[in-house]
Amino acid sequence: MDVLEECLHDLHRQAVAIVDEHWAQVLKHERGAKSWEDKSRLQLASHRKGNHIQLKWIGIRWFGVGSNRKSVKVSIKRTGRDLSYSKAALNQWARDWEIDIVMETEAKLTSIRRQAAHYVKAITSARFANAIATKSDMPVEDEEPGDD
C-alpha cells in the first residue's frame, strides 16, 4: 500500500509542475496586458489532502469599477465520468489568447486525474481486503514473496 501512496504522491508532484508551467505561460502573456479585460478569467487550483488530489478550474467574475473591483469565484463543472473539463465549458471563461494553453494543460491534468482515481481505488480495495483478513483471523503478510 505504501507503494501506491508513493505513486499518488508522485502524481501530485507532476500536477503541481503542470500547474506551475501553466501559470508561467499565463503570467508571461499578462505582463504585456494593457487592461484587466486582457487578463485571464480562469484560475487553476491544485490541492491534495490524504489520498485525494483535486485539480480544478475556477472561473472569475469581476464586479465594480476601477479600484472598487471585486471578484467572485465560480465553479466550472467537469464532464461526466471521464474526469475532464470540456472545451466548451473552459472556452466560456478563457480569453482568446489562452484557450490553447488551457486545453493543453487540461489534457495533461485529465491523465493525472484518471491515474489518481485508479490509485485511490486500489488503496481503498487493499484497505478493505486487509480489514476482512484481520476480522477473519486469516494470516496477513506484509512481505512480498522472496523477501528474506
Q: Give the pLDDT confidence of 64-94 residue by residue, as tens digits.
A: 887 788 889 999 999 878 899 999 999 999 9
Domain boundaries, the chain: 2-129
Residue with C-alpha cell 528474506?
148
| Mean pLDDT, the chain, integer | 89
* End-to-end Cα, the chain, rounded Å: 19
Q: Is 75 helix (H, G, I), strand (E, B) or coil?
A: strand
Which pLDDT score is estimated for 89?
A: 95
Confidence label for 28 from pLDDT (cuts 50, 70 and 90): very high
Long-range contacts of 85-88 (CB under 8 A, 24+ apart): 85/57
Q: Give the pLDDT confidence of 100-133 residue by residue, as tens digits.
A: 999 999 999 999 999 999 999 999 999 998 888 8
- Overall pTM surpassing 0.75 (yes/no): yes
Give the relative orientation of helices 2-30 and 99-135 as an angle to the nearest 10 degrees: 160
Q: Give the pLDDT confidence of 35-71 residue by residue, as tens digits.
A: 777 889 999 999 999 889 999 999 999 888 877 888 8
Which pLDDT score is estimated for 134?
A: 83
Task: List Cα–Cα distances, 64 to 67, 68, 70, 88, 92, in angstroms.
Answer: 8, 6, 6, 27, 21
Instruction: Quickly count: other Cβ atoms within 10 Å of residue 16's Cβ.
Output: 14
